[in-house]
A and B are shown apart, each in its own frame.
Chain A
Amino acid sequence: MKILHLFYDLLNLYGEYGNLCVLERGLKEKGTEVTVDKLSIGDEIDFLQYDFIYIGSGTERNQKVALEYLMPYKEAISEALNSGKTILATGNAFEMFGKSITDCNKKEYQALHIFDFYTEESDKRTVTDAKSKCRFCEDTLIGFINKASEIKGIKNPFCEMLEGAGNTADDKNEGIQEGNFYGTHLIGPVLVRNPALLEYFVEMLNK
């Protein structure tokens, strides 16, 4: 089993490596041999090599740096997803997989366009504890939202917010789950704080 922690040194604002710690431990406890690679700017990325790819959250500027670096990999990422590889992107990392990101100065950045949603940043920040009902695992998820963006045009969300903030101000739906792509604005070590979610990914990867 090979896991990739992508942009470990650039999109790492909220202790996200904790997710890899518990995932690696969870898989090893089930007897699965697992290696975790860390790659970032300047590294060649072979997406097809990995069973699971994780990307964490960054400052708005760091997200744009990561996005620029990922753009040439657009086809490779599609191919990886189509061949059954799993991607989990938390915080603003998942915004990169939509059509575009418009920053608070109205500058539009073309994004990977794996999915049709788009992101609008503003100078208003949403910071809130969050509770949500996950769409694919049985538990209530807890976490924190810390973002300055609204995400529009998502059909299949990651979870339904019970407390906190959804993709837009008037949407209870949060994040995205399309096939084996998982994106949520719950920040930081979400797998640490939500053992049920961890269990879901451990079991999925063990199948």
Chain B
Amino acid sequence: MRMFLAVTVCKILKFLLGIIGRGSSLPGEIALKLYPDVLKKVQLPPLVIAVTGSNGKTSTVEMIAHTMRSAGKTVVWNEKGSNQIAGITCIILSECNIKGKMKADALLLETDERYAKHSFRHFAPTHYVITNLYRDQLTRNAHHEWVFEDVKKGIREESTLIINADDPLVSLYGFGKDNTIWFGMDKQDFSTDRNTGIYDDGKYCPNCKKPMKYDYYHYNHIGSYSCENCGHKKNDTAYTVTRADLDNGVITINDKYDIKLAFKSIYNVYNILAAFSICSIAGIDGDFISKCISNYILKNGRVVQYRLGETKGTFLLSKHENSVSYDRSLEYIVRQKQECAVIIIVDSISRRYSTGETSWLWDIDFGMLDKDYIKRIYLLGKHARDLELRFSFTGIDSSRLIVNESIDEGIDAAAKINHGKLYTVTCFSDKHKFLPKVEIIKPEDTKEAE
């Protein structure tokens, strides 16, 4: 009876709120008040897949949903980013019948690192994908080891973990846990024998804190590590990128499945690999998955093609307060080796809270932009002067920098020049200050399928 009430009230409220154009987690909140144990009692689908990690959650989940739906499965997912318990309750109950049985093949949840422990008190995912844990939004999340403990509290014994073997911190979750499946990438042409980042979070073993050794690094501290002291090391992987050709945009998984990259970045490779792994585990044929993900252009607006003046540009959404995210965007720009200009905007550091904390600018390897084919670098927004000071320690000649606290003035100045190619690097919080000022080009119209 309580189930009937909770489901019905949730659906009615959601419907009514929908009419007045409001999406909210209120129906879920009320359902939880009516029946606090409702999530323990609902009958979830046979697949309950959760995805968490510092970076790549949204893109990975989108590709999983796309592939599973293409394979004919009905998938319910928190596409609008409802992460917290009330939001998740609302999503689940909306898809339940009055007896509390969910009508879907799979429930797919993008889960915030800090909230997972609350949600998974009520129910356990059958599969829990953990992509990576980096320094990320330190003003909110404290630091990666702090987040590690939070995520750990949400890992249920019965969930199968699908984790990134190349991340030494995330790998710890699989230490001694039987139902763990690992994914990772073999050594590639672009792998390095030293950490090229500004800092090295793989220097000391996350388990015993003794110095760790690496056979190779893919980027920052992601790679093949081993600790002589405690034996923590990159685990053998069940799903492996055996070959990644970022120049030509093609990867091979398990020596067998070729996937073309719509966006030739190493981030995309890991997101694809995570999505491939879980879809395989869900019983979808590898060739079919490859076909679905090949050249798949994400719809989440993380990469946007545009035109400013005479120049075509690529907008690369990067996360402020997340140096690994910035480094990957910069690395992508450098790898294209084409004459270009780069626009970096740091105005509002977060869209969730107000802060003037700029320490993270020092963790980003801006020095890699010191290439002769990068002709100009625009540093725009409220923190333009902070960026300028940071850049003064990179070796990049100041004559190549255009510094302006006014984003509009900076964009106007950039529009007057044909740069060959433009790249814009900024965050969710500043995205809307740039994209409305340029002409958006649909991805299918771009000749170079990026």
Spell out A's residues near B (CB within 8 Å).
9-10, 12-18, 21, 41-42, 59-62, 65, 125, 127, 129, 142, 144, 146, 148, 187-189, 192-193
Contacts and interface: CB of A to CB of B under 8 A. Distances in A.
Contacts of A41: 204, 211
A10 B204 contact: yes
B203 interface: yes
A104 to B, nearest CB: 10
B356 to A, nearest CB: 6
B14 interface: no
Nearest to B149: A123
A83 B359 CA distance: 32
Interface string B175-207: 000000000000000000000001110011000
Nearest to A68: B209
7 contacts: A10-B203, A15-B361, A18-B390, A61-B145, A144-B359, A146-B143, A148-B142
B362 A17 contact: yes
A9 B198 CA distance: 10
A125 B140 CA distance: 10
Nearest to A126: B142
A15 B359 contact: yes
Contact of B360 (A10, A15, A127): A15
Contacts of B209: 61-62, 65
B139 A59 contact: no
B237 to A, nearest CB: 27
A13 B135 contact: yes
Interface string B132-144: 0001001110111
Contacts of A17: 198, 362
Interface string B341-381: 00000000000001111111111000000000000000000
A59 B393 contact: no
A9 B135 contact: no
B354 to A, nearest CB: 8
A12 B199 contact: yes
A13 B323 CA distance: 11
Contacts of B203: 9-10
A18 B366 CA distance: 13
A5 to B, nearest CB: 13
Nearest to B203: A9
Contacts of A15: 198, 359-363
A59 B141 CA distance: 12
Contacts of B360: 14-15
A16 B138 CA distance: 14
Given A9-B200, A10-B203, A17-B362, A192 B389 contact: yes
Contacts of A65: 204, 209
B52 to A, nearest CB: 19
B4 interface: no
B359 A189 contact: yes
B152 to A, nearest CB: 13
Contacts of B390: 18
Contact of B211 (A12, A42, A60, A192): A42
A18 B140 contact: no
A16 B389 CA distance: 14
A129 B356 contact: yes
Nearest to B355: A129
Interface in B194-229: 198-200, 203-204, 209, 211
Interface in B138-174: 138-140, 142-146
A17 B389 CA distance: 14
A187 B354 CA distance: 17
A188 B359 contact: yes
A160 B359 CA distance: 22
A62 B362 contact: no
The 4 closest A-B pairs by CB, nearest first: A15-B362, A188-B359, A14-B359, A144-B357
A61 B201 CA distance: 13
A61 B148 CA distance: 12
B216 to A, nearest CB: 19
Contact of A14 (B138, B146, B356, B389): B138
Nearest to B135: A13
B200 A59 contact: no
Contact of B358 (A10, A60, A148, A193): A193
A79 to B, nearest CB: 28
B355 A144 contact: yes
A160 B315 CA distance: 43
Contacts of B146: 59-60, 125, 148
A127 B142 contact: yes
Contacts of B359: 14-16, 18, 144, 187-189
Given A9-B200, A10-B203, A127-B140, A59 B362 contact: no
